Amino acid sequence: MTSPALRYLTRICAPQRRRLKLGSGLAVLAEALWLPQAAVLAMVLGGMASGQDPDLWMSAGAIAILGVARSGLIFLASRQFEQGADAVLAATRAQILARAQQYAPGPEVPSSAQTAVLMVEKTSLIRAHLLRWPAARARVAVIPVLILAVIFPVSWPVALILMISGPLIPVFMALIGMAAKDASARQMEEISGLNSLLVDRLGALIDIRLLRADKQMKNDFQIRADRLRQQTMQVLRVAFLSSAVLELFAALGVAMTAVYVGFTLLGELRFGSWGRVLTASEGIWLLLLAPVFFQPLRDMAAAWHDRVAAQAAADELLMDEERSLTRIPGQGADADRMAGAISVRGLRLRGISYPDLDIAPGEMLAITGPSGSGKTTFLMALAGILPSDGALKVGDVIVDDKTADGWRQSVALITQHVHFLDLPLRENLTLAPSIDDDRLAQALTLADADEIVNQLPQGLDTVLGERGGGVSGGEARRLIVARTAYWNRPYVMADEPTADLDDMTAQRVIRGLLDLNAQGAGLIVATHDPRLIRVIERRIDLAA
Amino acid sequence: MTPLWQIFRLIWRDRRASMSRAVLLTIWVMVAGIALLSLSGWFIVAAGMAGLAGTGAVFDVFRPSAGIRFLAMARTAGRYGERLLSHDATLKVLTSLRVRLLVGMSRENHAMLLRLRSGKALNRLTADIDALDGVAIRVVFPVLGAAFAALATFAGLWFLVGPLVSVWAVGSHVFGGALVLFWGGWAGAHLSERAEDLSQDLRAGVIDHLRGRLTLISAGRLRDNMAVLGRIDAAARAAMMKQAGIEWRVAAGLQLVALSSLVGTILISGRLLSDGHIGAAQAALAIFAALALAELGGAIQRGVFELGRMRAAARRVAPGLSGAPLDPQIVGNEDGLAMPGSELTGLALTGLDLCPAPGTGTIVENFNLVVSAGETVALIGASGSGKTSLLNAIAGLIPVSRGQISTGGRLGYLPQRPALMAGTIRDALHLAAPDSDDRDKALIMAVCAFPVDLDYRLGESGSGLSGGEQRRLALARVLIQRPAILLLDEPTEGLDHATAESVLHGVRAWLPDAAILIAAHRPAERQAADRVISL
C-alpha cells in the first residue's frame, strides 16, 4: 500500500523518530489546552449574557496562564521538529554528494546542476515536510476525537454536525492529493531540466554569441521558464482549490453549529441537550470549539502539499540512489603512494578489449591510435579512474576499491579537459593541504609557465574561469603541466598533453615531461601528436 | 530607491490590474475574517440573552445568520481569488525577469564571460529570482491588508462598542505585533540572508566540486573538498536553525500579544458592562474581535522572516535588470558581430593595434592583412604572440586599440576552446542553424569527418565525446551556418594527421568562396594555407 517514496521517507527519518514523536505529543497537548481555555472564556461570556457578574480577574488570569502554557509547548514542539528535520537534511545531503562525486565521467551521469538542485533545494522540501506533517497528523488523530468526546455529552446534534462534515474532508483531500502528486512530480522534473539546461548554456555564452544563437537561446529559455511557471501554477491551483474546499466545509460546519446553538438558545429548538436547557456558556463554548475541530484537518491539508512535494523529492532521491553507473573506485582521499611495475591482463571496458601490458617503473610509453579507438578510456583505467575489475596490478597489488586511492596518489593525471576550481591559482596548481612556494616556482619554471603567471594581474592569487578563462588554451595546459611537476609522483599520465601547444612550447613541455621521466617518473601519454610520439621509446597502438 | 522596492514596483507596474485586484481581495479577506467571528459571537450572546428574556420570538435571527453565511462564503471565495491572481501575476513577472537577466548576462563583455562561473550565474537566475516571489504576496500585500483590517476594526469597535475597547483591542495588537515583528525582522534578516548566501555557496560549490571531480580525485582531495562543502552545509543549516529559533520566538511573542489583548479586552469590556455602559452582546462582539485580530500578525509573520533573503536577492538581481525592457524582443545583432564592409568580399585589417586587456601591453602593432574570398591564410607564432587575440578582435569579442577591421559577409568563428552543451548532436547543430534539416546536419558531420548518429547524446559540457570529436562537432556548428569569412583557432587540435587533413580539405570544399583565417600550430594547418603569416 505504501509507495516506495513513502517507505524511503520513513527510512531516512527513522533515526529521528523519537524526536518527531515527542514534538507531535507536545503539539497535541498545546492544542488540547484550548478546551479548558475556551471553557473559561465561554463562562465569562455566558455570565455576561445572563446578567451575572463573573469574576473577571480570576477568569482572565486562568486564560492568561493557559495561553502562556500553550505558547511554551508550541515553542518546545517546534524545536524538536526543527532539530529532527535538520539531522535528516544533513544526512541526506551528505549521501547525495558522496554518491555523485564518485561517478566516472560519461554521458549518462546526471548534470552537476541537477545534483546540486537535488541536494540543496529538493532536500529542503523534505525538511519543510518534517516541520509540519508529523504534528498535523498527530493532531488530526487526537483533537477532533477529543472534541467530539467532550461535546457529545453536552449536545449530540452539534457532535453529529461535526462528525458528518469532518470526515468528508480527508476524502476530498485524498482525491485532490492524487492530482497534486502528478503536478508536483512534473514541476520537480521541470526544475531539474531547467537547471541542467541553464548551467550548460551559461558555460557556453561566448559560443552562443559567436553562433548568433542568443535569440534562439532566449526563446528556448523563455519556453522552458514559461513551462515551469505553468507547472508551478498548476501545483498551486490544486493547493488553493483544496484549501478553499476545506475552508468551505469548515465554514459550513461552524455556521450550522452557530445556527443550531442560536435557535436552541432562543428556545426555538428543544432537542439535543439530553433534556436539559442549553446554557449560554455552553452554547458559546460549543461555538468556540467548532473551528478548532476543523483546524487540525486544515493544517493537515496545508501540510499535505509539503508532503506531496516531499514525496516527489523522495522519488527523485530514490532514483538517484538506485542509479547504477560506473563508479570511480576508492574514496578520493589522500593515501600512501604505491610503487612498482604496472601490469595489465585481460582489460575489457565498455565493450572494448585492451592489450595486455607491462610497464616498468620509470619507463616511457605512448598509447596511440586513431580518434575514437579508446586511448582516453585506456589511460583512465591505467590511472585508476575507471574500475579495471582486477585487470590492473601495481607490483603485487591489484588496484581495486581499497587500493585505488593509494594508486592515484602515485599518478599525476593530466586530463584532456582542463577544469580550474573556484580557488586562487596557487591552490589550483598545488591542490595540497600545505604549499611549498619554492617548489611551486621550480615547477612553474619546468613547465615554462612563469611568464604566464607574471602576466596575470594578480599573479598566483588570480581566480581563473572554470575552463581556464583568463589565460589561453595553451597557457592553461602549461599551468596543468606545472601542477604535475609540483606533485612529483612516480608516474605521470597525460591525455594529449601537447594538443594546444605550438611547436616551440610543445617542445619545451615535452622536455619538461622528459625531465620528470629522467628524475625517475614513469611517463605514459595517450596521444596522436608525432612530435611527442617521436621522443617516447615505447609505443602501443590501439586498433580502431 | 532600494532594490527590493524596485523589484516590487516592477511587479506592480507589469501586472497592475491583477495586482490591484489581488490587494483589494487581501484586504477583504482579512476584514471579513474579523467580521465573521465578531458577528458570530455577538449573535450567540444576543440570542442567549433573548432566550433568557423570553423575547426569542421577536429576535431577528435571519439577518445575522445570513450575514454569517455570506461572510464565510465570501471570505473563502476571496481568499481563493486573491491567491490565484497574485501568484499567477507574480510568477509571470518573475519568468520575464529571469529571461531578462539571462539576456543581460549574455551581453556581458568577453572578459566577464570568460570568468563567469556557471554555478554562481545559475544562482542568480534560479535561487535569487525564486526568493523574490514573496515580495508582493508575503510582504507588501499582507502588511497593507493588515493595516486596512486593523483600521476597519478600530472604526467598527469605536462605533459599535466604545472608544476605550477599540483603542485597547486594536492598539495592543498593532503596537505589540509591530514590536514583535520588527524585532523578528531586525534579528532575523541577517540570518535569513546568511542562510541563503550559504545555500547558494553550497550549490555553486557542489557544481564546481562535481565538474572538477577528476582533478580533485587525482589530487587525492575529493574527500577534503567534500568536507569543505560539508562545513558550508553545516553553517547554512546552523543559520537556518538560528533563524528558526527567532521564528519560534516571534510566533510565541505574537501569541502573547494576542493573549494580553484578549485578557485586557475581557477586563475592560467586563468593567464597562458592569457599569452599564455597554450591553453583554457588545462585550461579546469586542472579545471575539480581539480574538480574531490575532490572524493579522500571523499573516505578516512569514514575510518578515523572508525579508533578509529577499533583500539580498534583490540587491544581486536588480543591477542586471536596469535599462533593458521587461520583455526584450530582439537579442543579438542580426547582421553578425563585425561591421559589414561596403563592396568588400573577404577580410581586411588595416593598421591594427591590439592589447588583450586594458592596462596590459600592446601585443599586435600596426598589423595589416587582406584575406580575399577563396583564400586561406595561416597565422603562426609562439603562444602569447596574439593569434587568438587577433581572431577575438575580428569576431568583435574584444575592442581594438587602433586601426580598422572590414569584413564582407557573415562571419564564423571556431574559438580555441569551444563549449558544448548537453543534448543530442542534432540539438547542437540546431542551435546554430534552426532551419537546417537532418540531411544538412548529417552532411556537415561528414564534412567534418565525424559521421555520427544525430541522436547521439552528449553529457554535461559535451562529455561523452573525445577531445577531437568535440572539436569537430564545434567546427560543424560553425560550418553549417555557411559563413563567408571563417576564423579557425587551432581547428585540428586533438585530431590525428590523416583526420586533420581530411577535415581541412572538407572545410575548403564546403566553403569554396570563403575567406579563411587559421591560427595554426600544426603542419596540416599550415599546409592547407595559401599564405603563412608570422606574428
Of B98, B96, B122, the closest CA to residue A202 belongs to B122
Q: Residue B240: what pLDDT?
A: 92
Q: Where are the beta strands (DSSP E) in B418-484?
A: 423-424, 457-458
- Both B78 and B27 in one domain: the answer is yes
* Contact residues on chain A for B119, CB-CB shorter than 8 A: 112-113, 116, 199, 422
- Both B147 and B296 in one domain: the answer is yes
- Whole-model pTM: value is 0.82
3-state secondary structure B306-359: HHHHHHHHHHHHHHHHCCCCCCCCCCCCCCCCCCECCCCCEEEEEEEEECCCCC
Q: What is the pLDDT of residues B9-32, one digit of tens each?
A: 888 888 889 889 999 999 999 999
Over residues B467-481, the mean pLDDT reads: 89
Q: How far apart are CA B440 and CA A64, in angstroms?
A: 80
Among all chains, which residue has been given the C-alpha cell 584575406?
Answer: B371
CB-nearest to B421 from A204, A222, A247 is A204
- Both B164 and B258 in one domain: the answer is yes
- Both B401 and B436 in one domain: the answer is yes
Best B15, B65, B106, B379 member to test A by mutation, with max A CBs in 10 Å, is B106
Of A19, A307, A18, A312, the closest CA to residue A137 belongs to A307
Q: Which of B253, B286, B321 is the last residue of a domain?
A: B321
Least Cα separation, residue B384 to chain A (angstroms) = 8
- Both B444 and B306 in one domain: the answer is no
Q: What are phi and psi of B529, to 5 degrees?
A: -90, 150
Look at residue B213 and tell me if it is in a domain. Answer: no
CB-nearest to B106 from A53, A208, A375 is A208
Q: How far apart are CA A243 and CA B16, in angstroms?
A: 26
Q: Residue B320: what pLDDT?
A: 76
B154 contacts B275 by C-beta, under 8 angstroms? no
CB proximity A459 to B under 8 Å: no
B36: domain CATH number is 1.20.1560.10
- Both B379 and B311 in one domain: the answer is no
Task: Kindly state the helix (H) or strand (E) to which residue A521 belongs, with its residue range.
Answer: none
Q: Residue B340: what pLDDT?
A: 44
Q: Where are the beta strands (DSSP E) in A436-528?
A: 491-495, 522-526
Q: How far apart are CA A532 and CA A360, in angstroms?
A: 20
Residue B359 CB contacts under 8 Å (≥ 6 apart), including other chains: A457
Least Cα separation, residue A2 to chain B (angstroms) = 30
Look at residue B231 and tell me if it is in a domain. Answer: no
Distances (CA, A) of A176 to A93, A181, A246, A312, A314: 31, 9, 11, 15, 20
Least Cα separation, residue A3 to chain B (angstroms) = 29
Over residues B185-200, the mean pLDDT reads: 88
Least Cα separation, residue B84 to chain A (angstroms) = 7
Q: Is the CB of A203 less than 8 angstroms away from the CB of B72? A: no
Q: Is the CB of B68 less than 8 angstroms away from the CB of A68? A: no
B396: domain CATH number is 3.40.50.300
A364 contacts A523 by C-beta, under 8 angstroms? yes
> What number of helices (H) and strands (E) belong to chain A?
18, 11
Over residues A210-238, the mean pLDDT reads: 88
A213 contacts B432 by C-beta, under 8 angstroms? yes
Over residues A135-163, the mean pLDDT reads: 92
Q: What is the pLDDT of residues A367-422, one digit of tens each?
A: 998 877 888 899 999 999 999 988 999 988 999 999 999 999 999 998 887 889 99
Least Cα separation, residue A5 to chain B (angstroms) = 24
Q: Which residue has the higher pLDDT, B174 or A271?
A: B174
Q: Of A457-461, B337-341, B369-373, B423-427, which gets the smallest average pLDDT?
A: B337-341
* Contact residues on chain A for B432, CB-CB shorter than 8 A: 211, 213
- Both B267 and B374 in one domain: the answer is no
Look at residue B276 and tell me if it is in a domain. Answer: yes
Domain with CATH 3.40.50.300 in chain A: 342-541
In the numeric block, which cell numbers belong to residue B457? 547524446
Q: What are phi and psi of B352, to 5 degrees?
A: -85, 130
3-state secondary structure B6-61: HHHHHHHHHCHHHHHHHHHHHHHHHHHHHHHHHHHHHHHHHHHHHHHHCCHHHCCC
Look at residue B410 and tell me if it is in a domain. Answer: yes
Look at residue B182 and tell me if it is in a domain. Answer: yes
* Torsion-angle region of A269 (φ positive above 0: left; ψ -120 to 50: alpha; else: beta): beta
Of A343, A336, A382, the closest CA to residue A489 belongs to A336
Q: What share of chain A is helix, strand, coil (3-state, %, to 5)?
A: 65, 5, 30
Strand-pairing partners, residue A423, are none
Strand-pairing partners, residue A492, are A412, A523
- Both B412 and B477 in one domain: the answer is yes
Q: Does residue B322 register a pLDDT over 70?
A: no
* Contact residues on chain A for B262, CB-CB shorter than 8 A: 63, 67
Q: Does residue B56 register a pLDDT over 70?
A: no
What CATH number is given for A342-541 in this structure?
A: 3.40.50.300
A272 DSSP assignment: S
Domain with CATH 1.20.1560.10 in chain A: 4-322
- Both B83 and B15 in one domain: the answer is yes
- Both B125 and B178 in one domain: the answer is yes
* Domain range for B165: 3-206+236-321
Q: How far apart are CA A101 and CA B73, in angstroms?
A: 54
Average pLDDT, rounded, for chain A: 88
* Contact residues on chain B for A63, CB-CB shorter than 8 A: 259, 262-263, 266
Three-state DSSP state, B407 = strand
Q: Residue B27: what pLDDT?
A: 93
Q: What is the pLDDT of residues A34-63, one digit of tens each?
A: 999 999 999 998 888 887 877 889 999 999
pLDDT band at B359 (very low <50, low <70, confident <90, very high): low
Which chain B residue lies closest to A448 (C-alpha atoms)? B383
Of B330, B325, B329, B331, the closest CA to residue B14 belongs to B325
Q: Does residue B445 register a pLDDT over 80?
A: yes
Q: Does residue B1 register a pLDDT over 70?
A: no
Q: What is the ipTM of this complex?
A: 0.89
Which chain A residue lies closest to B268 (C-alpha atoms)? A56
Q: Does residue B504 register a pLDDT over 70?
A: yes
Beta-carbon-side half-sphere exposure of residue B243 (alpha carbons within 13 Å): 26
Range from A169-178, A319-328, B170-179, B486-495 that averages highest in pLDDT: B170-179
Q: Does residue B36 register a pLDDT over 80?
A: yes
Least Cα separation, residue A33 to chain B (angstroms) = 14
Look at residue B227 and tell me if it is in a domain. Answer: no
Q: How far apart are CA B180 and CA B172, in angstroms?
A: 12
Three-state DSSP state, A123 = helix
Least Cα separation, residue A358 to chain B (angstroms) = 22
Least Cα separation, residue A418 to chain B (angstroms) = 9
In the numeric block, which cell numbers belong to residue A56? 473577571
* Contact residues on chain B for A212, CB-CB shorter than 8 A: 332-334, 336-337, 481
Residue B474 CB contacts under 8 Å (≥ 6 apart), including other chains: A207, B414, B418, B420
In the numeric block, which cell numbers belong to residue A497? 598533453
Q: Is the CB of A218 less than 8 angstroms away from the CB of B266? A: no
Which chain A residue lies closest to B84 (C-alpha atoms)? A237
Q: Is the CB of A466 less than 8 angstroms away from the CB of B270? A: no
- Both B274 and B416 in one domain: the answer is no
Structural domain total, chain B = 2
Among all chains, which residue has been given the C-alpha cell 598545488?
Answer: A430
Q: Is the CB of B206 less than 8 angstroms away from the CB of A67? A: no
Sign of CA dihedral A400, A402, A408, A409: negative
**Chain A residues 238-277 within an 8 A CB cutoff of chain B:** 240-241, 243-244, 247-248, 251-252, 254-255, 258-259, 261-263, 265-268
Q: State the count of interchain CB pairs (< 8 A) between A and B.
A: 490
CB-nearest to B499 from A71, A254, A371 is A371
Q: Residue B342: what pLDDT?
A: 47
Q: Among the CATH numbers 3.30.420.40, 3.40.50.280, 1.20.1560.10, 3.40.1440.10, which is that of A4-322? A: 1.20.1560.10
pLDDT band at A489 (very low <50, low <70, confident <90, very high): very high
Q: Residue A66: what pLDDT?
A: 96
Distances (CA, A) of A310 to A113, A316, B91, B476: 20, 10, 22, 44
Look at residue B397 and tell me if it is in a domain. Answer: yes
Q: Which of B321, B349, B383 is the last residue of a domain?
A: B321
* Contact residues on chain A for B220, CB-CB shorter than 8 A: 332-335, 405, 408-409
Q: Is the CB of A111 less than 8 angstroms away from the CB of B113? A: no
Best A26, A132, A218 member to test B by mutation, with max B CBs in 10 Å, is A218
CB proximity A221 to B under 8 Å: yes
Q: Residue B358: what pLDDT?
A: 64
* Contact residues on chain B for A409, CB-CB shorter than 8 A: 220
CB-nearest to A202 from B121, B388, B463 is B121
Best A58, A200, A285, A427 member to test B by mutation, with max B CBs in 10 Å, is A200
- Both B473 and B368 in one domain: the answer is yes
Look at residue B496 and tell me if it is in a domain. Answer: yes
Q: How far apart are CA A381 and CA A387, in angstroms?
A: 6
Q: Residue A340: what pLDDT?
A: 87
A479 contacts A449 by C-beta, under 8 angstroms? yes
DSSP A294-317: HHHHHHHHHHHHHHHHHHHHHHHH
